């Protein structure tokens, strides 16, 4: 399994790399088909957030399946352990679900919506001068056409607000499959196209084991 470690606003020390590589056997033991592990270590410089200054994000890619977990702590090693605990739990759910489907249920095809994209190089923040003829407004963020995987960011005037737009390509899926994908990436919501209705929909956590579903349609289609 390929292991890629990058840092955001921090440098990666050799000791952290060694610890990560030694603990990745927890992943391969549960998911031997995992092809790539992306670990991102971030540092929060605000002294008021010292207890959560270090954040570790782990993304495992196995074919078209993406499993993700993250955690924050005062140091990178405890954040790594907490993120790994979350990740291994989700990997076990994935393995158990596959076993259930082998007993006679249809095996859904996981869809990677590109929630987290692996990076081979550390991120470098580059400030670009906006074109003089482009208006900084929310409309500008959605004015241009995007290709699959492309994104655009626009700052609204002189405010700190930044709007980011990105295009993902996804196959329609059932609500059950959408809930499964939401659990894998560890989000509280998941946007998808409902296979049964063809409508853009969102599944989300409510409380406990309760979930909600939003579907969107136009008055013309409903009528």
Tens-place pLDDT, residues 122-167: 454 544 444 444 455 556 555 566 776 676 777 777 777 777 777 7
State residue 152's pLDDT score: 73
State whether residue 28 is helix, strand or coil: helix
State residue 113's pLDDT score: 42
Instruction: Give Cβ neighbours of residue 3 (< 8 Å, ≥ 6 apart).
Output: 20, 21, 24, 36, 37, 39
Listed in order, the ranges of the chain carrying CATH 3.30.160.100 are 2-102
Q: Candidates 3.30.505.50, 3.90.1490.10, 3.30.300.30, 3.30.70.260; correct CATH number of 175-222? A: 3.30.505.50
- The strand pair at 189-193 and 54-62 is best described as unpaired
CATH number listed for the domain at residues 2-102: 3.30.160.100
Listed in order, the ranges of the chain carrying CATH 3.30.505.50 are 175-222
């Amino acid at each position: 399994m390929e292991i890629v470690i990058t840092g955001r606003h921090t440098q990666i020390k050799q000791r952290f790399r060694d610890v990560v590589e030694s603990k990745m056997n927890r992943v391969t033991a549960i998911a031997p088909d995992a092809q790539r592990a992306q670990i991102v270590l971030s540092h929060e410089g605000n002294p008021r957030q010292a207890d959560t200054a270090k954040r570790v994000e782990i993304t495992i890619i196995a074919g078209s399946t993406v499993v993700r977990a993250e955690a924050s702590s005062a140091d990178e090693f405890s954040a790594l352990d907490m993120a790994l605990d979350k990740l291994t739990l989700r990997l076990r759910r994935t393995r158990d679900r596959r076993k259930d489907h082998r007993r006679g249920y249809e095996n859904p095809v996981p869809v990677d919506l590109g929630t987290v994209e692996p990076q081979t190089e550390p991120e470098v923040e580059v400030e670009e001068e906006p074109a003089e003829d482009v208006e900084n407004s929310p409309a500008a963020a959605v004015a241009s056409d995007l290709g699959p995987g492309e994104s655009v960011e626009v700052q609204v005037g002189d405010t700190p607000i930044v709007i980011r737009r990105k295009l993902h390509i996804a196959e329609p899926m059932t609500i059950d499959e959408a809930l499964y994908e939401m659990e894998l990436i560890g989000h509280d919501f998941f946007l998808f196209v409902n296979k049964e209705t063809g409508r853009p929909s969102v599944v989300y956590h409510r409380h406990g084991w309760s979930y909600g579903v939003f579907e969107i349609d136009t008055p013309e289609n409903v009528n």
